[in-house]
């Protein structure tokens, strides 16, 4: 049921790097005074599969630039892990299932965008999300008729709608799935995507819905093997702050693209201030604020001019089980159109 096309190569980002060695020749502290972001990339190895991804993404961008003229959105989705060991047995994770990202990707596709879906491996995917990770097993959608498996008629109409959309996305080559598992893979891939998407300038949109860890354990301090409980006694974990890459994305990696980030909080009293703080610090175009408790029913668009626009599902829409992304994406696209208009003159 996954929408990965047969031509697309599958990467398994959850496996540790084969040789598993930590390169101690990479200095923990670089000699020159570098920004935190530069220091990060100087002291952390790139995922080995990155050159292959680069080729795929280049082909995808080239295909749409030459054949369809579609705008391209990079949707990031799901949570990043923070490995505690190089041969990773233990890691820190977060709650994100990738619902926001997978659902948003579907609405972008429906609205004529080509989508690069940078997602946590094994989190929800566009289209297959309807039949996975739910309380149901996918077999609940099947039934047996005359010794044959068929779709249960109760679900057939709805499934046909999803199937058609999925086929359309696949046949038009409009969906590229790229996985990550840990925060290092996420950062390297995001940087690469941004640089490659410079080719289409303001037709690129960044929709950063992934829940990226704020803290990480540098590779230089990561134990090679599984931490032994006898040796450790208590386990005290000393994490560093993940450098703030958004500013780098806005200024250097994707200067012409429109950038939308999400801000998640659990305390409603600080949500708007935090969203405004992010806009101040990173100088991008839109922060979509949401609360953990209500994120599927309401979000707030916060703009650099200080305006706040709440988007909420009505009771009727809730009763129909409508996705809030069905309201968010047209509003984001409207702002992207204005962005293109503004910078095409």
Pattern 174-213, binding to ligand PAZ, x per CB under 6 A? -----------------------------------x-xx-
Q: How far is the CB of 42 from ligand PAZ (least distance, A)?
A: 25
Q: Say how many residues touch ligand PAZ, by CB under 6 A.
A: 13
Q: Please name the residues in contact with 65: beta carbons below 8 A apart, sequence gap of 6 or more.
A: 199, 200
Q: Which of 44, 133, 295, 312 binds ligand PAZ (CB under 6 A)?
A: 295
* Calpha distance 287→297 (Å, rounded): 17
> Looking at 32-40, 195-203, 262-270, 316-324, which segment touches ligand PAZ (CB under 6 A)?
262-270
99 binds ligand PAZ (CB under 6 A): yes
Site membership for ligand PAZ, residue 262 (CB under 6 A)? yes
d(CA 106, CA 325): 9
Cβ closer to ligand PAZ: 61 or 211? 211
- In this structure, are residues 222 and 207 in contact, taking their beta carbons and an 8 Å threshold? no
- Residue 100, interface with ligand PAZ (CB under 6 A)? yes
Alpha-carbon 97 to chain mean position:
11
The answer to whether 97 contacts ligand PAZ (rule: CB under 6 A) is: yes
Give the strand pairing for 204-208 and 175-180: unpaired
Selected range binding ligand PAZ among 96-104, 137-145, 172-180, 194-202, rule: CB under 6 A: 96-104
Alpha-carbon distance of 10 to 196, in angstroms, equals 21
Q: What are phi and psi of 199, to 5 degrees?
A: -55, -35
Among the listed residues 216, 238, 240, 241, the one whose alpha carbon sits nearest the alpha carbon of residue 88:
216
Q: Are 211 and 95 a contacting pair, CB within 8 Å?
A: yes
Stretch binding ligand PAZ (CB under 6 A), from 53-61, 91-99, 141-149, 319-327 = 91-99
Residue 265 burial class via C-beta count within 10 angstroms: exposed 0-12, middle 13-18, buried 19 and up: middle
Could you tell me the smallest distance in angstroms from the CB atom of residue 211 to ligand PAZ? 4
Q: By C-beta, is 40 or 207 nearer to ligand PAZ? A: 207
291 near ligand PAZ (CB under 6 A) = no
**Nearest CB to ligand PAZ, comparing residues 61 and 209:** 209
Binding mask 263-282 for ligand PAZ (x = CB under 6 A): xx------------------
Among 98, 117, 121, 180, binds ligand PAZ (CB under 6 A): 98
CA-CA distances (angstroms) from residue 9 to 55, 108, 177? 12, 23, 10
Give the residue with the Cβ less far from ligand PAZ, 170 or 297.
Answer: 297
The DSSP code for 79 is: B
How far CA 35 is from CA of 243, 245, 248, in Å, comes to 9, 11, 10
Q: Is 84 in the site for ligand PAZ (CB under 6 A)?
A: no
Which residues here bind ligand PAZ, judged by CB under 6 A? Answer: 96-100, 209, 211-212, 262-264, 290, 295
């Amino acid at each position: 049921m996954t929408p990965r096309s047969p031509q697309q190569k599958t990467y398994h980002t959850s496996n540790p790097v084969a040789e598993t060695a930590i390169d101690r020749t990479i200095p923990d502290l670089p000699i020159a005074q570098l920004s935190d972001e530069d220091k990060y990339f100087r002291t952390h190895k790139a995922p080995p599969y990155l050159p292959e991804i680069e080729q795929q993404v280049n082909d995808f961008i080239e295909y749409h630039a030459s054949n369809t003229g579609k705008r391209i959105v990079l949707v990031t989705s799901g949570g990043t892990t923070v490995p505690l060991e190089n041969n990773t047995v233990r890691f820190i994770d977060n709650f994100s299932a990738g619902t926001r990202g997978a659902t948003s990707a579907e609405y972008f596709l429906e609205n004529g965008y080509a989508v690069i879906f940078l997602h946590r491996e094994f989190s929800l995917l566009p289209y297959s999300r309807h039949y996975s990770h739910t309380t149901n097993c996918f077999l609940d959608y099947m039934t047996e008729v005359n010794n044959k498996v068929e779709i249960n008629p109760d679900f057939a109409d709805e499934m046909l709608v999803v199937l058609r959309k999925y086929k359309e996305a696949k046949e038009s080559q409009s969906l590229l799935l790229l996985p990550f598992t840990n925060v290092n893979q996420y950062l390297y891939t995001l940087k690469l995507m941004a640089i490659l998407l410079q080719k289409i300038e303001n037709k690129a949109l960044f929709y950063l819905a992934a829940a990226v860890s704020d803290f990480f354990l540098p590779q230089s301090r990561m134990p090679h093997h599984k931490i032994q409980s006898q040796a450790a006694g208590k386990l005290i974990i000393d994490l560093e702050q993940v450098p703030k890459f958004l500013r780098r994305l806005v200024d250097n990696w994707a200067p012409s693209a429109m950038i939308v980030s999400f801000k998640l909080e659990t305390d409603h009293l600080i949500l708007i201030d935090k969203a405004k703080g992010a806009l101040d610090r990173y100088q991008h175009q839109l922060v979509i604020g949401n609360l953990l408790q209500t994120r599927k029913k309401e979000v707030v668009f916060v703009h650099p001019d200080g305006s706040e626009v709440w988007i909420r599902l009505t009771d009727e829409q809730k009763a129909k089980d409508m996705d809030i992304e069905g309201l968010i994406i047209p509003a984001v696209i409207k702002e992207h159109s204005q962005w293109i208009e503004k910078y095409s003159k």
